[in-house]
Amino acid sequence: MLVKKICILGLDDYAMLSGERGVIGGENVQHVLLARAWRDLGIDVSMIVFEQGLPRDLEVDGIRVIQAFRPDVGVPGLRFFHPRISRTLLAMQRADADVYYQSPASPFTGVATWFARQRRKLSVVRIASDAGCVPGQQLMRLRRDRKLYDYGLRNASLIVAQTHHQQSLLRQHYGLASEVVNMAVEPAPRAPSAPQDIDVLWVANFRPVKRPELVLELARRLPHRNFAMIGGPLIGQEDSYTAARKAAADVPNLKLLGPLPYAEAGAMFERARLHLNTSEFEGFPNTFLQAWVRSVPVVTFFDPDGLVRKKQLGCVASSVEEMAAALDALLSDELRRKDMGARARAFASAEFLPWQVAGRCVELMETRLSTGLVHAATVDG
């Protein structure tokens, strides 16, 4: 095996890895599922995370944890290059990996790729959202950060996309080739199903792009259905969470449960009849897989590669009115809802298990290593 050591640069992955309470996003889930699957394949896996105030040398679940810096370290305006980048580079040096894997889109995409390039190691950039495929659409305020991301994307040894749509966008806007690799999801527990006492479950971090205000609007339109929201505020975007919590107090059929550990959120999917997604744009939502593997259909505006509609894994809406009607119709038709749920579970269980995804990634990495393509992703002519 050419790939013996993989390092994942995921600064906010620790809560997901340790099972502690904290803000957990989709890429945190993917990083940890892949880390565990690669570990099970016999690969030495390390993860670079924010400093947690823990011993320097730490192992969690057979995965080496390397702490880089505290999120609040340094003097504003100066701290980006030192100590943030400098300590991240030192952490990558300590990892001494064959492959450096990074997502989502951020200035650290460029940092990881630059370091790997200097060391003649393999760099892998995973696309986490369609916005990462279009220059200027990335959710980065500073031009410096966008430039670093673009550098990382253009100089990565391998770009991994979530969908064929992302692959097309990368080719169109960057002239870059990529490989489509499925997302990973843990199999649902085989224990008896929990009572399905939540009609509609929404799970996301509270930020404008997720449009949590639409959940409140839908709950008001469907007062005879009960809704639950799981998620917490992101640093710098606390207003979205505060506004939703205040408004939810006046919607009696809506419970805002706040952030939950990954396992507890999974248990809530067991109790749901439908999963709701209101995002403006996405990549391939982890929550779709968490719902599908538990036989829960999705109702969404966003449909990755048209899978929801083509495979009848839920309903796709184009307006709030359509979404409210779709939710009510599915909740009123148990036979149709269960039929969709059964198809969803079979699809997710056949295509998205962690060992399958991890194995495919290793195949692609080893192909690059064996052919010497460690400097940059192929650029289309």
Same domain, yes or no, for 343 and 360? Answer: no
Does the structure show a pLDDT above 70 at 379?
no
Same domain, yes or no, for 16 and 121? Answer: yes
**Residue that the structure tokens 């509270």 belong to:** 206
Same domain, yes or no, for 252 and 175? Answer: no
Does the structure show a pLDDT above 70 at 276?
yes
Same domain, yes or no, for 337 and 360? Answer: no
What pLDDT, on a 0 to 100 scale, did the predictor assign at position 23? Answer: 81
Same domain, yes or no, for 241 and 342? Answer: yes
In whole angstroms, give the CA distance from residue 133 to residue 136: 9
Angle 320-332/334-351 helices, nearest 10 degrees?
100
Q: Domain of 68?
A: 5-184+353-371
Q: Is residue 98 part of a domain?
A: yes
Same domain, yes or no, for 341 and 358? Answer: no
Say which residues have a Cβ less than 8 Å from residue 106's Cβ, sequence separation at least 6: 140, 145, 149
Say how many domains are in the chain. 2
Please report the DSSP string for 58-107 in residue order: EEETTEEEEE---TT-S-TTTTIIIIIIHHHHHHHHHH--SEEEE-SSSH
What pLDDT, on a 0 to 100 scale, did the predictor assign at position 166? Answer: 97
Q: What is the pTM of this model?
A: 0.92
Same domain, yes or no, for 363 and 263? Answer: no
- Is 289 in contact with 348 (CB distance < 8 Å)? yes
Question: What confidence tier does 193 reach under pLDDT thresholds 50, 70, 90?
Answer: low
Same domain, yes or no, for 172 and 62? Answer: yes
* Dihedral angle sign, alpha carbons of residues 115, 119, 120, 123: negative
CATH code of residue 61: 3.40.50.2000
Tens of pLDDT, residues 204-233: 989 888 999 999 999 999 999 999 999 988
